[in-house]
Each structure stands twice: as structure tokens, then as C-alpha cells.
Chain A
Amino acid sequence: MTEYEGIVKMLRFFVQTRNFSYVDRIGNALNPEPVEVALLEALRAFRSIRESASVDENGGRYIEKDGNKILLPGIPSGEEVMGFLKDVRSDTGVAKLVATLALAYPSKKENSGGDV
């Protein structure tokens, strides 16, 4: 599932901020349309948050929530999004897997929250 790492990281960021709306809608979708809409809304929200985020000494973007510093990953690439939506159209199980991964702990410590 490394080809959707950017989407997983973005959804994981929302999970860290206790906004489960997008991951739930993507993970529980019964057909591709709700996945497309939820991903569009997630990307829209993520861009807004990212643009107004603070930048630390390493150039990483972060927000603070309840006293915790939460690092922001990069925005998923167009190719990744296209590939994901294409795969979801043929198998909605892909969306469930991506959402499940977003809810799980990352396999390695992501100090930077992904690329900056």
C-alpha cells in the first residue's frame, strides 16, 4: 500500500486532530462516490490547514492542538490521487484498507510528518 502513502499520511493527520469524519467516510463507503467526495473535501480542508500552519526551525509545517505539536505531511500528489480513485472504482476494499492504515500506528516514526 506504499503507493497511497501520501493519502494515508494525510488521513492520519486528521485522525491525530480527532477529526474522524474523512477516514470514516472513506473506510465505510459502499460505493466509489462517497470516497471521491470525502477525499475531495479532505484535500480541500488539508490545503487550508497547511497554508495557515506554522513552520518550525527544520522547515516542517505543524499545528498545535491541546498543547501538542502535530506535524503536517505533504499534500498527496495528483498521480497518487488518480491511482487511488481508479483502484477504488474497481474495488472499494482499497478505500477500506487505506482508512484502516490511517487509523493504525505508522510503521516507523514519522518525525517530519512526511515531506515538507
Chain B
Amino acid sequence: MFLSVGVRFEANVEALNMVETAGNYGKHRRVPYLVEEDGRLKTVYVPAMSGESLAHAYQEHLVNEALSADLPVCDDCWRMEFYKSMNKVHLKKKVDPIPDDPKKIEEAIVKACVVEDVGGFLYAEKPPVRRSSAFQVSYALPVKSVALFATSEPQLHARHAQMDASSKKGNASEQMIYYVETGTALYGFTFNLDLDAVGVSAITSKPILDENEIKKRREASLKALFRMLSSGQFGAKLSRFFPVGGITELVVSVTEHPFVVTSPIYDDYLEKTQRRLKVLESFGEEYLFTAATGEKVPEEALKEAIDYLHEKGAF
């Protein structure tokens, strides 16, 4: 089974994805974007969030869900440091001595950690072993039709230090000003989860775990997505720049084989997705499509997908 989610969220004055700092200036991630204006295409730079940032947040939620379901999480992932068995030092914590056979290495890692099972890993030693992530996430980008209204604006802040004449050194200032570039936009992103890949070897395509364990891991993967979207706990600087806004629209499709919803950066993504699914139906493929665009709230749509997967025996 394959789950695909399209999310639109409004974020005002957010600093969800900061890149480098230059002196006292912290910059928001920005990407070039093609937009149409008066029938002509033009490039504009818009605030964005990387897929890496969203994936990190998702994996943090996955750790929590896995631990509550009594599923294994390795020490590195448990600390939210996703090294992903990248070398011998990290792999030895899971299996010692390290086997020579890539299949056995993969098996040891998958058995030891839900995050590396679902989120993939790259063991960059001899022999190298790579497992693709079962989940995929796009960058969060401004919705096309309103991208020109997106802004990234530096906000001035100050830090103060209490200094009397004796503690003051040289011309040290009692306050330091700094700028945080904040983004404001209606963002859209896509999240996919291939449930058939969970607990299954990327090398042999055979299950590594027993069916019951696989089902528990699939359920934890879905709950992690639910929690991430429901709580808004993704991105950086939440303690002082928690975005003002929230999810405005969300669509979910569950299909037997891979299918990705039309990107929510397009205004007609909902209708397009439905039309594309109708074609799948004509091939005899069953699916679920649900959307939270009006009366339904995002949590209800996600719950509907979880219930459907439950009915279908995915977990």
C-alpha cells in the first residue's frame, strides 16, 4: 500500500528553515521559483523549507511513536541524531563483529532500528550498504498562484547584557542587535510513504521481520505523520517564531501501488488528483481519496486514511 499526502499550510512570520548566519544576520532558506506574470515566466526568490528539515522532524516523531509502541530504536536515533549506521563506529553498536555480507548488515540494522528501517540509511564502508527511505518528502514551497505575495523580511531583535562600569570592557555594547529573516507564505508540500517497503529488504525484496512486527512499524510510521502535522512540530526556531497560521488544506490518497497526489502548489491539485485516481480505478485498482478542504479538519482526513489501511489489513 502507498500513502501520499498533499499539505497546504499558511505560515506567517516563521523562521522554520534558517541557513547560514553572516555576522548578526540569520538568513531564511530561499529558492528560485518560476512564476507566470502577464503571460510571461519570471524567476522570483521565495522562502522555502527543505525536505531534509521536514524529514528530520518526521523521524523525530517516528522515534517517539516507535518507543511508545515498544519498537526498537537504536541509541543514535533515540537521541535524535540520525547518523544512520554511516560507518563502523555506529554500526558496531548494532552488530559486532560486523558481517561481510551486505544482506546481513541490512538485516541487523533493520532489526535494530525502526527509523533506519523506515527512513533508510547509507553504510559507507566496505561493503557499502544502502537502503532507500520508505518515506519521501518534498521541499515546502509557496503556492504558485500567490508566490509573488510571499515575503522574507528581516526582523530586528536585541539581546541585553547587564554591565556596570567595572565589568565593561573596551567599547563593548550593553545590547547587541541581530536580525532574523522571517518568511511569510502559503506553503505546499508532498509526503509519500511506501508501506510495502517497511521491514522488507531493499536487496532481496523479502521480509526481514515477521508480519506482526511489520504491521506495528507501519502503524507507528502513520502515527508519526499524524503527530507531526497535527502538532506543527516541524522546522526550526519554534520557541520564538512558531508560525502563525496552520494547515489550510490537506489531501490523502491510499493506493495499492505507488501514486503521488498532484502537488499542492497548484490550485487545481485536488481535482487533478481525483481525475488521475479515476484512471487508476479504470485499471481495477482500489483506492481511498479524502480531503480536508472545507468542513473536515486535517486530523479527520488522516484518521480516515489510517482506518482504511487498518481495514485493508496493512496493520
Contacts and interface: CB of A to CB of B under 8 A. Distances in A.
A45 B24 contact: no
Contacts of A109: none
A33 B32 contact: yes
A112 to B, nearest CB: 22
A45 B20 contact: yes
Interface in B11-57: 20, 22-25, 27, 30, 32, 43, 45
B48 to A, nearest CB: 13
A116 to B, nearest CB: 19
A52 B23 contact: yes
Contact of B43 (A33, A45, A47): A33
Contacts of A47: 23
Contacts of A51: 23
A contact patch SS: helix
A44 interface: yes
Contacts of A34: 32, 43
A31 B43 contact: yes
A41 B27 contact: yes
B46 to A, nearest CB: 11
A49 B22 contact: yes
B119 to A, nearest CB: 27
A68 to B, nearest CB: 20
Residues of A in contact with B, size category: 10 to 19
A44 B43 contact: no
Interface in A10-64: 19, 21, 31, 33-34, 37, 41, 44-49, 51-52
Contacts of A44: 22, 25
A15 to B, nearest CB: 15
Interface in B100-130: none
A77 to B, nearest CB: 20
Nearest to B27: A41
A42 to B, nearest CB: 9
Contacts of B22: 41, 44-46, 48-49
Contact of B23 (A31, A33, A45): A45
Contacts of A52: 23
Interface of A: 19, 21, 31, 33-34, 37, 41, 44-49, 51-52
Interface of B: 20, 22-25, 27, 30, 32, 43, 45
Given A48-B22, A49-B22, 11 more contacts: A21-B20, A33-B32, A33-B45, A37-B30, A37-B45, A45-B20, A45-B22, A45-B23, A45-B25, A47-B23, A49-B23
